[in-house]
Amino acid sequence: MGFEYEPRVAVMTFEPPFDGLEIRVPLDLPAMQLIRISRRFQELERRRSESDSEEESEQVFIAALELFCSLCDGWNWTRNGEPVPLTASTLANEIPGALTTKLIDRWVETVRGVGTPLEEPSPDGGTSEEQSTETET
């Protein structure tokens, strides 16, 4: 019998003034996607602290938002009853900056939280503490 894994998705919710907003984000990302995301945000932080041009910093920020949006499974934001697309442009130009920062921070925390160790380590399966019930024949 084969093993089929169904990737997990979390629904992020927010407190006022954004209560009611829900964003569906993946919890289980392949290693290369995690590395790309980490590099984008590290590059953004580095450029913020260095004296790079504002335009270059904006490009890195937009690239990070595009990566984030490409991984998300949607949200319930509407305007005049119509769905607002979850895009880098929307996050950068149409919604409050505090929300954009908050949702990315929350998502990073959520993904990092998935990898925390178990409270009690599980056995490696090498040997059992129980005595064998096999009998020699």
Per-position DSSP letters for 59-122, written without gaps between them: HHHHHHHHHHHHH---B--EETTEEPP--HHHHHHTS-HHHHHHHHHHHHHHHHHHTPPPSSPP
pLDDT (0 to 100) of residue 48 = 67
What does the pLDDT average to over 9-25? 89
Cβ atoms of residues 103 and 76 within 8 Å:
no
Domains in the chain, number: 1
pTM: 0.66
Going by pLDDT thresholds of 50, 70 and 90, the confidence category of residue 15 is confident
CA 23 to each of CA 64, 69, 78: distance values in angstroms, whole numbers, following the listed order: 17, 10, 12
Whether 3 has a pLDDT exceeding 80, the answer reads yes
pLDDT at 94: 93
* Any domain includes 133: no
Q: Is residue 75 part of a domain?
A: yes
User: Does residue 4 lie in a domain region?
Assistant: no
User: What pLDDT is stored for residue 12 in this prediction?
Assistant: 87
Q: What is the mean pLDDT of the chain?
A: 77
d(CA 47, CA 19): 32
**Per-residue DSSP letter, 127:** -
- Calculate mean pLDDT across residues 20-45: 80
- Any domain includes 119: no
Q: Is 33 a member of any domain?
A: yes
Which of 25-29, 56-60, 113-117 is least confident? Answer: 113-117
Amino acid letter, residue 51: S
Quote the domain boundaries for residue 34.
9-114
Q: What does the DSSP 8-state code read for residue 18? A: S
Residue 34 is predicted with a pLDDT of 76
